[in-house]
Chains A and B, each alone.
Chain A
């Protein structure tokens, strides 16, 4: 009866061989092409460094004003502007300004990339149903895979630093924007689409004049989620050498510095609130004219 209590697993030797083969292949890939892969991502690294140094080296009042202006144009509400300014000042007073700027810069760049890749993928997913089916499965896997797992291959290929961190963040944060772009386009009123067809829209006219504008509130919800996930992953990515608030948290865990952990944690929450309020308020403003007719 022994076999009932021990699951008939594959031969351990065989499993070991499989693992070795895959890891070996990946290592060989890294060894053989490591330099060219790194060269390939070099422009990306320049971009990341450029953003980070711009925002970190800028005079702090300028950064505060710039974010306040962005908040105003997105939300058109003083309450949101006040919340943004207040949060930034609190972060600065806690002595976390430089680290916070690094975190903001990485979240910002990775969100931009995630949007730039995610929206077109969402459109493709919507247009080609078969691609959509495959992509749905891939996205399900991506969203349930523990985020730490993403770190392993990027570290193996690219070592530690900004670029692997950035890639891990983008991969982790991209599913919502893809999904919600697809969903937003699917939810567009059928009669409006029929009107677009009846007036002779080409596919691209229909997409840009009707589907995307009408899907925009949903897409904004996706962007909001993507930002939040990017912010979460930036902390985890500190394990592979991403600097900023996450690294402080990591040190705090390692050394049991409770207060440092709490301060940095709150700073991350503060940044999350800034991004969230700005993007949500913008999304709401987009919806202003979407309500049902009142007759």
Chain B
């Protein structure tokens, strides 16, 4: 299903300053969580806490700055606390201690009414198993957020139709969710979230339940939409390929703690520990590492005539282009063909085969 590039009835955010600042966030699940925060702060591990006090450490000292208008991926395996973390941003889960600042307001200080207003107007969420209302048609699911907010029916219908069209579901408006495939159901979930016109989009393993091919389609659609919408997206996944493909920034969680933060190049080229290295090993590096990350800077102005590779190119493409030319190195060029650095086939091969890059 293609993505129609019409935007009838769809309003866009003109500016998005909804950065998310998470500071010193702790979450302990148990009967008396507050009593144990200090113990955890001073170094008690998840295992110790569970053994000695029978409490589960959900999140341990989380600090993340999620930039506005970017995709922040939170990656981890099950039990790493990633779903717990995303539920703190709209406070579906109450923290044990810490702060989450969004647009100058601490989400954790909001009253029930403020929180409701915040959820209605500033965040929208997409769920792993879609979270659609089975008794409502596609269009009535998509208008749900607007209806809750009290937008008049005709207007929310227009908005919803626009987004249904954008996610490629035109003609399915009057179907029920159980008449649709998983991929189509998640498009409904996405259209519902986008209809809300919120600056923050929370996606909790949104694509994990989908088939690999459908998943790639949905990723492409999200990236295309994002170039235009520039929302602050928090994307949860257990799939490193997905994380690398989507994430402007990536955080990797394990046992409730952050073990690495950075962009895809940092994760691939400088994995923080063995655990991440094991993940990274199985990734197709050529598809994700960019020439910029491994090029040598130019010491003096080079006069050699070499082929030019555009900045931002993946190693896979770079290697192909370089092999097709008769040279074994090339300039990496930025805007207007200005050379930024030098890259050789040998460097590319080295980077593809291991993480060892000087």
Residues of chain A touching chain B, judged by Cβ–Cβ distance below 8 Å, are: 189, 191-192, 194-202, 205, 209-210, 213-214, 216, 286, 289-295
Please judge, given known A-B contacts A192-B133, A213-B135, A214-B134, whether A198 and B148 are in contact too, CB under 8 Å: no
- B149 CB contacts on chain A under 8 angstroms: 200
A-B CB contacts (within 8 Å), total count:
86
Q: How far is the CB of A235 from chain B (nearest CB, A)?
A: 37
Q: Which listed residue, A191, A198, A209, A216, touches B119 by the CB 8 Å rule? A: A198
- Contact B131 A289, beta carbon cutoff 8 Å: no
* Cα distance A205–B176 in the bound complex, in angstroms: 21
Q: Which stretch, B22-30, B178-186, B237-245, touches the partner chain A? A: B178-186
Q: How far is the CB of B143 from chain A (nearest CB, A)?
A: 11
Q: How far is the CB of B286 from chain A (nearest CB, A)?
A: 32
B199 within 8 A of A: no
Please judge, given known A-B contacts A289-B135, A289-B177, A291-B178, whether A199 and B124 are in contact too, CB under 8 Å: yes
* Cα distance A192–B167 in the bound complex, in angstroms: 21
* Cα distance A290–B178 in the bound complex, in angstroms: 7
Q: Which listed residue, A202, A210, A214, A294, touches B116 by the CB 8 Å rule? A: A202
Q: Which listed residue, A194, A199, A202, touches B144 by the CB 8 Å rule? A: A199
Please judge, given known A-B contacts A192-B131, A194-B127, whether A201 and B148 are in contact too, CB under 8 Å: yes
- Contact B182 A199, beta carbon cutoff 8 Å: no
B117 within 8 A of A: yes
Q: Which listed residue, B124, B128, B185, B202, touches A293 by the CB 8 Å rule? A: B185
Which chain B residue lies CB-closest to A195? B131
In B124-180, the 8 Å CB interface with A consists of 124-125, 127-135, 144-145, 147-149, 176-180
- A195 CB contacts on chain B under 8 angstroms: 125, 127, 131-133
Residues of chain B touching chain A, judged by Cβ–Cβ distance below 8 Å, are: 90, 92, 116-121, 123-125, 127-135, 144-145, 147-149, 176-183, 185, 196, 202
- B92 CB contacts on chain A under 8 angstroms: 194, 197-198
* Cα distance A213–B183 in the bound complex, in angstroms: 25
Q: How far is the CB of B337 from chain A (nearest CB, A)?
A: 47
Which chain B residue lies CB-closest to A289? B176
- Contact A292 B178, beta carbon cutoff 8 Å: yes
Q: How far is the CB of B217 from chain A (nearest CB, A)?
A: 14
- B182 CB contacts on chain A under 8 angstroms: 293, 295
- B129 CB contacts on chain A under 8 angstroms: 191
- A292 CB contacts on chain B under 8 angstroms: 178
* Extra inter-chain contacts (14) besides given A192-B134, A199-B124, CB under 8 Å: A195-B131, A197-B92, A199-B196, A200-B116, A200-B117, A201-B116, A209-B148, A210-B133, A216-B135, A289-B176, A290-B178, A293-B130, A293-B180, A294-B178
